[in-house]
Structures are given as structure tokens and as C-alpha cells.
């Protein structure tokens, strides 16, 4: 596909609170590589934490973020260039709508070679490590040979397509919870991914689905997505309310998606003995808990949930069938020029999901 320009706009991370809109060369595709013309890229809570200098991104002799790097990992676009062999390699054609998973696995470490690619030891992620994995807050993006690519049907709207990455993460967390028909499930945190989890958990048909958040508007949206009960800690005694509907035992499953320490301690208090606790959030600071609750007092099954392994096709299919939606979750659509305002919105309760459109 012929190019109309040599350079593109990109939102480039140089360090905490140092994000700049710059002109960059449009990448070219080599063998088994492809170029996406970006249609939209969401701003994730982890992007906001990275921008604010959260320790997990920047501390240490070898910080995880390799700046300068074009930011963004919640993107999708149109295939506009295919290097030699790339069409067959990725299963796409020019003009297809497509998405690349956020992780760029090395395909060499023990995790990649055993099928656990999302735990890759190298662990390059689009939008955080330059060269290998530039991000989607740009007009174009190159997907390298080890990228994991999925086609998006035309029936999936642009808003839904922009929400495939976070929805896929939410589906993985819900899968980790191993929800059963008679479970009482609590999802703490009704942000964008938390609301995706609500929809996925509802499709699992648990006995009762409870959502906890501090923002009433988000709780109302959670009810439209299938929550049977919503609780706001600002006025509800969360532990007492959950104990009241579980004969005093506590919930069977607790999924933590708040990203704040109180979400963890709350979960340890409201979950029953032998319950399943799923930790999803990216925290901006250290979290301390009484580990005797996990072992001696409740013998909990504590499970992590990281990224979205093998769930992109599931999310795409559910969107295509109309079983899940981004409606009400995608609240703001801004241009790359307005990225700074977009980050401020995304880091507030004035939005749920902000997407940038080149």
C-alpha cells in the first residue's frame, strides 16, 4: 500500500511526567513483520502509573521502561504493509483490521517454549520498551516476527475493537477464578477492566455477583452488565453486607481490580475459608497484609492474573456475537494532540476509558 508521508505523530515517553508529542519516522516492515495504521489506542491505568513515576516502572539499576518509547498497548489498526512472508506468518492480508497482543514474547525462554508466553522472561510489552516493542499512541506501529496477531471482523465496532485488550485481560482474570454455578463472586474495582470482568463473570452465571467501587456511576453501569448487588464503601459496610448474603461465611471468589492496598485487605476479610482470591491489579506502591489470614486462618487459594493469554480470540468472538460491549465504558475519544488532557482524564474518576485516535 503506497505511503502518503514519511513521518508520523507519536506520544513518546521520556520519563515520569515527561511525555511528548513528536514526529518520528514511519517504520518499515522486514521479513515476517507488518505495519499497522493505528485506528485507536486506549490509555490504561498502568500507563497513568508509568507517567506518574510508580516504582515498578522506574526503580532499580535496570528500570523496566526503556525510554524514549512510543507509549500505548491497548491499540488496534489496519494492516497497511506486510514484509516478506508476513501475510502467511500472521494470517492477515492488506486492509484487514487487526490487533497485536500487548506482549512481544521472545519465543526462546522456558516460559515461551512451554506455551506460557505471557510470562516470558524477557517480557517486552508494546509501549514500554523501545525498538522491540514501540506502542500504539502513534499513527503507525510495527509488529515484529514474534508478535501475536488477531484479525478483527468488520462487525466489531471501533469502540469495541479498542477495548479488546482490556477485555481480554478481564476474561483471563475471570478464568483464573474458576467460577462455579453456586459461587458468590465479588469483583472489587469497577474501572474499565473491572467492568469487563463483570460482563465475563456474568456469562459464567454464578449464584450472586457483587461489585464494589467508590463511584456510583460505575456501580450503576455494573448493574446493567449483570451485577446482582453493588456496594460503595463510602456508605456501605462491605464486609457486613457480604456476610449477610452468605450466611456469615463470606464470598467464594474475590477478584481484586482496584489497584489500591485497601482492595487487598478488604478481600482477605470478606472471603470465606478455602476461597479463591484472584489478584489482577498493578499497584503504584507496596501493599502489606496479614499473611496468617491466607495460611493459618483461611487456607486461601491465592491466584495471580497477568495479561491476556489465549483470550484475545475469545474477546473478539464475544464482541462479534454481542455478548459483551464497550458501551458506557469508552467515555472519551480524543486526538493524539490532546494526549496530555487524555492522561489527566484517564487518571481521574471523570472517565472510565479514554481512547486516543490518530
In order, the DSSP letters of 9-66 are EEEEEEETTEEEEEEEEPP---TT-EEEEEEEEEPPHHHHHHHTT-HHHH-SSS-SSB
Stretch 226-250: mean pLDDT, rounded? Answer: 98
Model confidence at 284: pLDDT above 90: no
> Does residue 58 fall inside a structural domain?
yes
Residue 313: enclosing H or E segment and its boundaries?
A: helix 312-320
Which residues are CB-neighbours of 36 under 8 A, at least 6 positions away?
75, 76, 77, 78, 79, 80, 98, 100, 136, 140, 141, 142, 143
Burial (CB < 10 A; 0-12, 13-18, 19+), residue 255, is buried
User: Is 205 found in the same domain as 180?
Assistant: yes
User: Is 146 found in the same domain as 255?
Assistant: no
Output the pTM of the full model: 0.95
User: Is 116 found in the same domain as 56?
Assistant: yes
> Does residue 318 fall inside a structural domain?
no
Residue 343: enclosing H or E segment and its boundaries?
A: helix 339-346
Q: What CATH number is given to the structural domain containing 288?
A: 3.40.50.720
User: Is 351 found in the same domain as 279?
Assistant: no
Q: How confident is the model at residue 4 (pLDDT cuts 50, 70, 90)?
A: low
Rounded to 5 degrees, φ, ψ at 34 are -140, 160
Residue 78: enclosing H or E segment and its boundaries?
A: strand 74-82
**Beta strand segments in 128-170, E:** 140-143, 149-151
Q: How far is CA 270 from the centre of its chain?
A: 25
Stretch 270-296: mean pLDDT, rounded? Answer: 93
> For 116-136, b where at least 16 C-beta lie within 10 A, e where not — what string?
ebbbbebbbbbbbbbebbbbb
Stretch 137-159: mean pLDDT, rounded? Answer: 97
What is the per-residue pLDDT across 324-347, written as a single tens digit (0 to 9) for each? 999 999 999 999 999 999 999 999
Q: How confident is the model at residue 279 (pLDDT cuts 50, 70, 90)?
A: very high
User: Is 216 found in the same domain as 107?
Assistant: no
State the pLDDT at residue 64.
Answer: 82
The range of the structural domain enclosing residue 229 comes to: 170-304
How far is Cα 98 from Cα 76, in angstroms, rounded to an integer? Answer: 6
Query: Which is higher by pLDDT, 16 or 62?
Result: 16
Q: At what angle do helices 312-320 and 164-177 cross, to 10 degrees?
A: 110
State the pLDDT at residue 129.
Answer: 86
Stretch 67-83: mean pLDDT, rounded? Answer: 96
User: Is 338 found in the same domain as 287?
Assistant: no
User: Is 83 found in the same domain as 53?
Assistant: yes
> Does residue 316 fall inside a structural domain?
no
User: Is 188 found in the same domain as 157?
Assistant: no
Q: How confident is the model at residue 63 (pLDDT cuts 50, 70, 90)?
A: confident
> Does residue 2 fall inside a structural domain?
no
> Does residue 314 fall inside a structural domain?
no
State the pLDDT at residue 2.
Answer: 46
* Residue in 188, 232, 225, 186 with CA at minimum distance from that of residue 209: 186
User: Is 136 found in the same domain as 176?
Assistant: no
Stretch 232-254: mean pLDDT, rounded? Answer: 98
> Does residue 315 fall inside a structural domain?
no
> Does residue 320 fall inside a structural domain?
no
User: Is 218 found in the same domain as 157?
Assistant: no
Q: How confident is the model at residue 168 (pLDDT cuts 50, 70, 90)?
A: very high
Which residues are CB-neighbours of 203 under 8 A, at least 6 positions away?
318, 323, 324
State the pLDDT at residue 41.
Answer: 98
Considering just the CA atoms, what is the radius of gyration of the chain in Å? 20
What is the per-residue pLDDT across 169-188, written as a single tens digit (0 to 9) for each? 999 999 999 999 999 999 99
User: Is 196 found in the same domain as 147?
Assistant: no
| Backbone dihedral region for residue 170 (phi beyond 0: left; psi -120 to 50: alpha; all else: beta) | alpha
Total of domains in the chain: 2
Burial (CB < 10 A; 0-12, 13-18, 19+), residue 247, is exposed
Q: What CATH number is given to the structural domain containing 122?
A: 3.90.180.10
State the pLDDT at residue 1.
Answer: 47
Bridge pairing between strands 34-42 and 140-143: antiparallel
User: Is 113 found in the same domain as 190?
Assistant: no
- Neighbouring C-alpha atoms within 13 Å toward the C-beta of 48: 20
Distance set, CA 147 to CA 51, 142, 203 (Å): 25, 10, 29
Residue 183: enclosing H or E segment and its boundaries?
A: none
How far is Cα 77 from Cα 70, in angstroms, rounded to an integer? Answer: 16
How far is Cα 217 from Cα 204, in angstroms, rounded to an integer? Answer: 24
Model confidence at 275: pLDDT above 60: yes
> Does residue 128 fall inside a structural domain?
yes
Across the chain, mean pLDDT equals 95
Amino acid at each position: 500500500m503506497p505511503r502518503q508521508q514519511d513521518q508520523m505523530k507519536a506520544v513518546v515517553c521520556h520519563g515520569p511526567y515527561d511525555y511528548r508529542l513528536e514526529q518520528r519516522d514511519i517504520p518499515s516492515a522486514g521479513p515476517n513483520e507488518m505495519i499497522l495504521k493505528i485506528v485507536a489506542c486506549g490509555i490504561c491505568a498502568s500507563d497513568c502509573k508509568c507517567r506518574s513515576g510508580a516504582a515498578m516502572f522506574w526503580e532499580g539499576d535496570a528500570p523496566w521502561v526503556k525510554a524514549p518509547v512510543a507509549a500505548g498497548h491497548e491499540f488496534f489498526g489496519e494492516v497497511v504493509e506486510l514484509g516478506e512472508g508476513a501475510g502467511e506468518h500472521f494470517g492477515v492480508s492488506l486492509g484487514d483490521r487487526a490487533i497485536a497482543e500487548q506482549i512481544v514474547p521472545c519465543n526462546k525462554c522456558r516460559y515461551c517454549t512451554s506455551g506460557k508466553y505471557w510470562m516470558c522472561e524477557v517480557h517486552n510489552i508494546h509501549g514500554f520498551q523501545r525498538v522491540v516493542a514501540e506502542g500504539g499512541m502513534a499513527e503507525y506501529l510495527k509488529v515484529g516476527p514474534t508478535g501475536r496477531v488477531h484479525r478483527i471482523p468488520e462487525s466489531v465496532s471501533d469502540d469495541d475493537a479498542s477495548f479488546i485488550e482490556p477485555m481480554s485481560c478481564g476474561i483471563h482474570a475471570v478464568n483464573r477464578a474458576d467460577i462455579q454455578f453456586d459461587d458468590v463472586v465479588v469483583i472489587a474495582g469497577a474501572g474499565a477492566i473491572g467492568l469487563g470482568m463483570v460482563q465475563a463473570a456474568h456469562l459464567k452465571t454464578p449464584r450472586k455477583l457483587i461489585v464494589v467501587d467508590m463511584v456510583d456511576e460505575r456501580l450503576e453501569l455494573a448493574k446493567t452488565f449483570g451485577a446482582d448487588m453493588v456496594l460503595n464503601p463510602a456508605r456501605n459496610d462491605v464486609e457486613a453486607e457480604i456476610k449477610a448474603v452468605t450466611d456469615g461465611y463470606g464470598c467464594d471468589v474475590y477478584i481484586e481490580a482496584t489497584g489500591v492496598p485497601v482492595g487487598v485487605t478488604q478481600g482477605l476479610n470478606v472471603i470465606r475459608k478455602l476461597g479463591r482470591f484472584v489478584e489482577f491489579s498493578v499497584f503504584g506502591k507496596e501493599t502489606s497484609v496479614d499473611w496468617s489470614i491466607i495460611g493459618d486462618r483461611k487456607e486461601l487459594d491465592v491466584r495471580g492474573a497477568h495479561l491476556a493469554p489465549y483470550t484475545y480470540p475469545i474477546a473478539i468472538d464475544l464482541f462479534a456475537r454481542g455478548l459483551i460491549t464497550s458501551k458506557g465504558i469508552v467515555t472519551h475519544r480524543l486526538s493524539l494532540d490532546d494526549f496530555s488532557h487524555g492522561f489527566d482524564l484517564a487518571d481521574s474518576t471523570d472517565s472510565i476509558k479514554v481512547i486516543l485516535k490518530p
